[in-house]
Amino acid sequence: MATVTFYGAVQEVTGSCHLVHSDALGEVLLDCGMHQGMRAKHFISREQFAFNPCSIDMVILSHVHLDHCGRLPSLLHEGFAGPIYCTEATAQLLPIMLFDALSLYENDLRRENRKRARKGLPDIEAHYSKEDVLNVLDCLKPLAYKQRVAIGEGAYVCFHDAGHILGSAITELTVTENGKQKKLVFSGDLGNTDTLLMNDPVCLEEADMVLMEGTYGDREHKSLGDTQTQLKDILHEAFVRGGNVMIPAFAVGRTQELLLYLGKLQQAGDLDNWQVFLDSPMAIEVTSVYDQWLPTLDCEGVKKLCTGEQTLLKNFLSTLHLMVDAEDSMAINKISSGALIIAGSGMCTGGRITHHFKHRIWDSRNTIIFVGYQANGTLGRILVDGAQHVKLFGDDIIVKANIETLNGFSAHAGQAALVDWASHFKTDPKVVLVHGEPDALMGLADKLEQLHGIKAEIPILGDTLEF
């Protein structure tokens, strides 16, 4: 019997983790992500695995965003020792992501333990270490897209381009049960078809069960043209006000798309005189990996813009400044106007963007532009929801900066694209909706049934379904 048990990203957007059981294959974990917005002390003391990591035979990883991969070091720390299958680009990006996350984790842990020491409390022990990250990297089994590989007797895995970020994959898992082949398709995160950089998600036709994301299942994005116009107008108004712009952006995906959009505006003479600061060592390193893969990405969007020796980091955006050291980042604070700052984290749960907020969020001349999904409980979501005061580094700070949201830059498919992707399956599979808040998943389920007669299921944490 083949089953799936849901341990994360069910009726919520983060923490992707689904356990596939097959008598022929054993225990297979699809993703091992963390819940974004949680601080280190909560992650350590409260979030334990609801299964035995030693019993997991292998992991299949959809992509490198931390809500899909962030708990892999903890999985190995707790005893997992099997292979981790992923795409080639994901294998290149994963060390950048995991070592950056480790640094933030250790800083948070030190800070928390200093507070505990002052109260006479014992230290919280680290839940994973650099050695665990290195062990994760040793377990990686990189595969090319469309490369069908045997992972057990009568069992195969094959990755297809999900179009979400570099290396993101739709997973096609085939197992043999009682002489009969069964196929599970896990969408991972499906990309927005209206982008400059990424290819469109691949559509598949055969499955017995489809695990499908529904982050934006109840809404549509603005068109790329409308979004670029909106960005141009917001930037121009901010420039006229004499302010600065802060854009929280994920190091993988959003940052690279933004550089393309800003370069396109500059080439059209629509960027005013903004000085663009990419204030993220991780994003700079990630973008260099993207540059290696540019020939494989969206030909219409990228090749028309990046020609010859041009790359996203070289000669494409003439006013781009790469801020690697902390001193470089702090120097931006001296600029009174005309600075466009791209920094992490994308949901404002830490990183350099929070320092820029502290210096600028109280000034009405300044603008914050959100270009990606903001999960419940994150500082980004609190600001998008209209907070007038926020807590930053222990201080209560008034919010007077202009808050703008551009969901047309989302890396996730909107409702129509999700419905279209699901409609391509010809084998009448069981469709299960994950990775979305309840309203989004119910909206998607209603639309799937209304347009295509697909009766989708929405599991809760700990549910087990057979396929």
- Contact by Cβ (8 Å): 22, 30: no
User: What is the Cα–Cα distance from 180 to 199, expressed in whole angstroms?
Assistant: 34
What pLDDT is attached to residue 59?
A: 98
What pLDDT is attached to residue 300?
A: 66
CA 209, 215, 217, 218 torsion-angle sign: positive
Strands, E, within 267-401: which ranges? 275-278, 320-322, 339-343, 367-370, 389-392, 395-398
At position 53, the amino acid (one-letter code) is: P
User: What is the Cα–Cα distance from 418 to 447, expressed in whole angstroms?
Assistant: 10
User: What is the Cα–Cα distance from 252 to 258, expressed in whole angstroms?
Assistant: 11
User: Per CATH, which fold does 224-409 belong to?
Assistant: Rossmann fold (3.40.50)
Percentages helix, strand, coil for the chain (3-state, rounded to 5) are 35, 20, 45
C-alpha angle with apex 417: 213 to 149, nearest 5 degrees? 55
The single residue listed with the structure tokens 């600075």 is 339
At position 229, the amino acid (one-letter code) is: T
- Contact by Cβ (8 Å): 356, 392: no
User: What is the Cα–Cα distance from 15 to 408, expressed in whole angstroms?
Assistant: 24
The single residue listed with the structure tokens 């962030």 is 70
Which CATH number describes the domain made up of 3-219+411-466? 3.60.15.10
What Rg value do the Cα atoms of the chain yield, rounded?
22
Q: 432 forms bridges with which residues in the sheet?
A: 211, 457
* Closest C-alpha among 179, 215, 159 to residue 410: 215
- Structure tokens of 420? 């279209």
What pLDDT is attached to residue 299?
A: 65
Beta strands 140-143; 84-87: pairing state: parallel
**How many Å from the N-terminal Cα to the C-terminal Cα in the chain?**
8
Q: What is the pLDDT along the chain (467 residues), one digit of tens a residue?
A: 899 999 999 999 989 999 999 988 999 999 999 987 544 334 444 468 999 999 999 999 999 999 999 999 999 999 999 999 999 999 999 999 999 989 988 988 898 899 999 999 999 888 899 999 999 999 999 999 999 999 998 999 999 999 999 999 999 999 998 889 999 999 999 999 988 899 999 999 999 999 999 999 999 998 888 899 999 999 999 999 999 999 998 899 999 999 999 998 998 999 999 999 999 999 999 999 999 999 898 866 677 767 677 889 988 899 999 999 999 999 999 999 999 999 988 889 888 999 999 999 999 999 999 998 888 888 999 999 999 999 998 899 999 999 999 878 888 999 999 999 999 999 999 999 999 999 999 999 999 999 999 999 999 999 999 99
Question: Domain residue spans in the chain?
Answer: 3-219+411-466, 224-409
Question: Based on the number of CB atoms within 10 Å of its own CB, is 386 exposed (0-12), middle (13-18) or buried (19 or more)?
Answer: exposed
Element (H, E) at 19: strand 17-22
Phi, then psi, of 240 in degrees rounded to 5: -65, -35
From residue 52, alpha-carbon distances to 28, 131, 167 in Å are: 12, 20, 28
- Structure tokens of 437? 């808040």
Element (H, E) at 212: strand 209-213
At position 335, the amino acid (one-letter code) is: I
Residue partners of 385: CB distance under 8 A and separation at least 6: none
- Number of Cβ within a 10 Å radius of residue 450: 10
